[in-house]
Structure 1
């Protein structure tokens, strides 16, 4: 099945259909809106659900999400064991509150990642104490054991993509037996997520590619998985002719130390590209890794002055940075959706992207709305980037077509409508099930 052939939610329809507004609990065990798609999802979906008239309460742990006006935040704190500047810290004795805290620390001490499980247990306790306050509970990829059973309202779950994909890519990148053992232990929580996913009556996901991966990797039955595309804030991410393009500028959003993001291949491509276009340079939105494959590649190719990392900038500064680029690039080996692709296209900046995961579903056909290359191919990346940098007419054509694609297919307003329709379907299914049990 091709990405374009995958239907969106069968319940898709207008949310303002005369039915009463919904009381929504939106759960997120990690909510940072500047690092990772989950925080972006919570921020923008909650805003658009509020615009539709619904009441949204986000229940989250550290890093807490940043929300726009309308949605409220209830903090459900973890021990925040991975916070900077002291990740993998040991809490002080007076920080422990209950057995869940002890479980969180013990899992970290043994090399595991506890947050999906421990957040789900805290969320279960919190929601049961507030039974009757919500019409629907929406879990944003926690998939912890604590979310099974009666929570006081029907459960809808979003899986952006199976984390087993990240696990396999990290295993492939591990260069020693000890490192591979460490990766397997860290990702042990994915077994729990698979077991929980298979028990859910209905799963939302963000792309046709993720839909297939959820079926293949997690064993969720195909008919239980529904696609509701997400998108860009097209008011914020928009063209602005007053922002001057910087010759040779390439911009990407990436975590340097995450193999899945493919940044090392983009650095290699830049080295190749600069032999013919010496003004080509790269701006990476993300944290610089002082060690690892990307740092080594920058040093090996002598690109210290041609690669710049930026982080902690405002939304407006980020949008202007993308507008200033002659080309945006998504070099990922895999993406469950690729918000950076949609956001760059929304500004009218031409895009070069790989065909990893759901990226073609977002970026569109090669040569029409983007230039597409195979994942992990630095030579192909260099050739495509060089072609775009050297052709102003191509840049203009790809930029305009990309913007139009996002406007017609990938907006947060449409995502909220489709998601709210699924909420109503889950509420109705729950009502029918209760009625049958009562007979």
Structure 2
């Protein structure tokens, strides 16, 4: 019963530095291999070996196979025009035509590439585990071997918020076109025998949005990497310094509301908001900062490595996670692992991660954020109590080993049902 499994982990987009999905693949593959399983990651760009640093590479027990794609979303060569040679490949042609008409074909075309790759190499696995791609290509593999998928959260929520956040009819149409892959994902998800998700909140929302019975889901919370996120006691906290990791202009991440809250806080006391990452050039966030005239109180770090990230956490008096919705909420767990007190919204699964170890406010409510920030900044003993509670919670509840053990239990059930 405890024999090692041959596992194929499929990830169409695999950035190991940002986005829950890339982090998930990197750490889950490590943890499964550490349990003695034979793991192969079949990935799309960017390469999980990015920067070739030891803590960014897949470990020695994990095989990595990178499939060649057009990589049209590479920020260094965004939406490039492919060569005629490249377009001679039918999958490349489909991808380029879809991107040219404002679609997002990567999940679908990567599934086609995986199917083709496995046919050519005749590779076999005990189970294939797809990471939120939910493509027709992956579904066709389910006829030949056990297949499961992780859905982190329902993308319909992103689509809805993207449409609601703009008054422009053209931008609404663009959002609908961009999220057109969702209809494929709904069809594929319905046909899989079992789906893994990362929180009870995600399970309920995916079941409702995809019209799938909740009994088909296994909820397996993800881990926090305490080798990358940990307290740094040697660095002195800076009074009034607030950290937020949601730098995206995406409405879902709620940074707009936090900026309004900071404007309110500044009427009472000086604060510095440190935003990990960079804003979109001339995007909504940059424009709002100018409009609110709070530029000198906001610092964008740009892209930073893990060591610098931990130092930023160590200097902060508190962390804020203002997301309107999260399928899990890694930033809450990462801040708690660094022993930083957290304010977060009740959007999606955030309360499940936070438990009683963070200060909770309603999503999309700048006034509530402002009040919570002022309360915590004025109360050192409450900050200390939350920091300690959060730290203990991560060590007890959110380890990658625990995630991997529960994932393997799910795999064995799915394999038995298949056979």
TM band (smaller chain): over 0.9
For 2:58, the equivalent position in structure 1 comes to 68
Q: Indicate the larger mover: 350-359 or 301-310.
A: 301-310
Spell out the pairing of 1:18-417 with structure 2 (5 A cutoff): 19-66=2-49, 67-70=57-60, 71-150=62-141, 152-278=144-270, 280-365=271-356, 369-417=357-405
Q: Distance in 2 between matches of 1:235 and 1:109?
A: 41
**Contact 1:260–1:334, Cα closer than 8 Å, also in 2:** yes
Query: Are the aligned partners of 1:131 and 1:153 in contact in 2 as well (CA < 8 Å)?
Result: no
> Looking at both structures, which has the greater relative contact order when contacts are Cα pairs under 8 Å and sequence separation is at least 6?
1
Match of 1:5 in 2: none
Asked whether the equivalents of residues 58 and 64 of structure 2 are also in contact (C-alpha less than 8 Å), the reply is no
Which residue of 2 is the match for residue 12 of structure 1? none
Aligned residues: 410
Say whether the 8 Å CA contact 2:278–2:303 is kept in structure 1: no
Equivalence for 2:52: none
Q: Contact 2:48–2:58 at 8 Å: present in 1 too?
A: no
Give the distance between the partners of 2:294 and 2:180, measured in 1 at CA. Answer: 37
CA distance in structure 2 between the aligned counterparts of 1:92 and 1:400, rounded to whole angstroms: 56
CA apart distance, 1:97: 5.0
CA positional deviation for 1:231 = 2.1
Q: Matched residues in 1 for 2:401 and 2:229: separation?
A: 14
Compute the displacement of 1:249 (Å).
1.0
Q: Any idea what the Cα deviations from partners look like across 1:125-155, whole Å, max 9, x if unmatched? A: 1123344532111100000111113354311
> Which one has a larger percent helix, Structure 1 or Structure 2?
2
In structure 1, the residue matched to 2:53 is none
Any stretches of 5+ residues in structure 1 without a counterpart? 1-17, 432-439
Q: Residues of 2 paired with 1:86 and 1:274: CA distance?
A: 40
Alignment RMSD, CA only? 1.4
Alignment check: 8 A CA contact 1:245 1:326 kept: yes
Return the match for 1:425 from 407, 413, 417. Answer: 413
Deviations for 1:1-60, whole angstroms, at most 9, x for unmatched residues?
xxxxxxxxxxxxxxxxx6221111111001002221100001111111111111211111
Return the TM-score normalized by structure 1.
Answer: 0.91
Quote how far apart the aligned CAs of 1:110 are: 1.2
